[in-house]
Amino acid sequence: QGYYTRGGGIGESGDFITSPEISQVFGELIGIWYVSEWIAMGRPKAFQLVELGPGRGTLTDDILRVFNQLSSLLSKCDVSVHLVEVSPKLSETQALMLTGGKVQSNPEDKSAYMKGVSKTGIPIFWYRDIQDVPPGYSFYLAQEFFDALPIHKFQRTEKGWREVLVDIDPEVPDQLRFVLSPSSTPATENFIQPEETRDHVEVCPEAGVIIQRLACRIEKDGGAALVADYGHDGTKTDTFRGFRNHKLHDVLTAPGTADLTADVDFSYLRKMTQGRTATLGPIKQREFLKNMGIDLRLQVLLQNSSDTATQEQLLHSYDMLMNPKKMGDCFNFFALLPHHRLVRPDTKHKPESKSPLPPVAGFGELLLK
Ligand code: SAH
């Protein structure tokens, strides 16, 4: 019955716009990131691309186009796509975008509720939960996914931590209001870190559980995860807000009709990996995209387009993604990688064979060859 199960309003005609919907370059550079990590990890024979909350499917579509363009590199690799999506309506949109609508659905199937083949011949599977995705070497992607998951809110008071709860306003009909719990709750007992210094905190336990699962899977089967979202590194307090028709919307008015969102706390995600993987970031979107070579890609697209309207559109979308006052500064990239990807095992006995580890693209300068 919720906002996303009824379709969600992603895109210019909806409630909010996301980076992959702004420019194809965003997804292309993320596609390059996966290919770059696949090479750095010794070109495993197969990998699964697992996207959490794929929205309209645009990002996966852009990534698969890159995989297809680099087919000379990937031709011997067995690639499959696994989409984790709860919204029946959005999964239909994704199927149309990625397969042209040719899918087999099996709602009774305990694992994949839908299957299809991409326009470029890659098998695609849909699931409701990350736990249903088969184990195996996987590259995970979560773009504006974690901010959509529900949070708990807490307020520090003279009597200790109290949970912010939603109540029916007794004075105004059809109106909800926020109240403070009169005493501590199971959530205040379990979700506040003992070393917490802020007075108001938002915690998303569901994000913590999912990150834990990703970290376990990467530790066991290999791969990497890339998380892109707006957020902070454990510094912000009250960020819960709603969007409707691209305007701020009171979160308690007309529930289920607006996009509800809270900034992602990357320090919490890092903690929830429990040291099973290494983490990189968060770094700002504009730094990540710059390191990935967005300027060069923009130049190529500008040179290849003959009409000024397309060129203006390219420049406008570049500005949306990169301008610090638009999406450049508030969006961040964060990665989970196996420890061995960043720390070379002890090479004491053969120091002369020590070659430097290849840098992780995006988080340092990309060496374009
Ligand atoms: N990544 C897309 C869409 C972001 S919106 C983009 O950047 O454009 C959030 C997405 O997560 C939607 O596809 C929504 O249906 C999905 N979603 C929300 N809650 C979910 C949950 N608990 N499990 C799986 N998917 C979920």
- Residue 368 has a pLDDT of 44
CA of 52 to the centre of ligand 1 (A): 7
Tell me what the pLDDT averaged over the chain comes to.
93
Mean predicted confidence (pLDDT) in 232-240: 96
Total Cβ atoms within 10 A of residue 167: 11
In this structure, the residue with its CA closest to atom 6 of ligand 1 is 55
Predicted local confidence at residue 142, as pLDDT: 98
User: How confident is the model over 230-257, as a mean pLDDT?
Assistant: 94
**% helix / strand / coil in the chain, to the nearest 5?**
35, 25, 40
What SS3 state is found at 328?
helix
The atom of ligand 1 lying closest to the CA of 149 is 19
* Ranges of each domain in the chain: 3-150+204-341, 152-202
3-state secondary structure of 351: helix
Contact between residue 262 and residue 204 where contact means Cβ atoms under 8 Å apart = yes
Q: In the structure, what pLDDT confidence band is assigned to residue 354 with cuts at 50, 70 and 90?
A: low
**3-state secondary structure (DSSP) of residue 310:** helix
Q: Which residues line ligand 1 (CB under 6 A)?
A: 4, 8, 10, 18, 20-21, 53-55, 59, 84-87, 90, 143-145, 148-149
pLDDT value at 346 more than 80: no
> What span, in angstroms and rounded, lies between the C-alpha atoms of 294 and 300?
10
Residue with tokens 């990890």: 41
- Site to probe by mutation for ligand 1, drawn from 87, 151, 333 as the one with most ligand atoms within 8 Å of Cβ, is 87
**Which band of pLDDT confidence, cut at 50, 70 and 90, is reported for residue 326?**
very high
- 5-17 pLDDT, tens digit per residue, is 777 788 888 888 9
Both structure tokens of 9: 């309003």
Neighbouring-strand partners of residue 184: none
Q: Residue 260 phi/psi, 5° resolution?
A: -105, 135
Q: Which residue has the higher pLDDT, 108 or 172?
A: 172
Average pLDDT over residues 52-57: 97
CATH topology of domain 3-150+204-341: Rossmann fold (3.40.50)
Name the least confident of 95-109, 203-217, 226-240, 352-366.
352-366
For 159, the 3-state DSSP assignment is coil
pLDDT at 3: 86
- 134 CA to centre of ligand 1 in angstroms: 20
Is 50 exceeded by the pLDDT of residue 369? no
Q: What is the pLDDT of residues 119-143, one digit of tens each?
A: 999 999 999 999 999 999 999 999 9
The answer to whether the pTM exceeds 0.85 is yes
Q: Scanning the structure block, which residue is given the tokens 């008071």?
A: 157
Average pLDDT over residues 41-46: 97
What does the pLDDT look like over 153-194, one tens digit per residue? 999 999 999 999 999 999 999 999 999 999 999 999 999 999
Mean pLDDT of 53-58: 97
What pLDDT is stored for residue 9 in this prediction? Answer: 81
Residue 1 is predicted with a pLDDT of: 67
The band of 352, judged by pLDDT with boundaries at 50, 70 and 90, is: low
Q: How far is CA 335 from CA 99, 211, 229, 277, in A?
A: 29, 11, 12, 10
Q: What's residue 13's pLDDT?
A: 81
Place of tokens 């992959």: 20
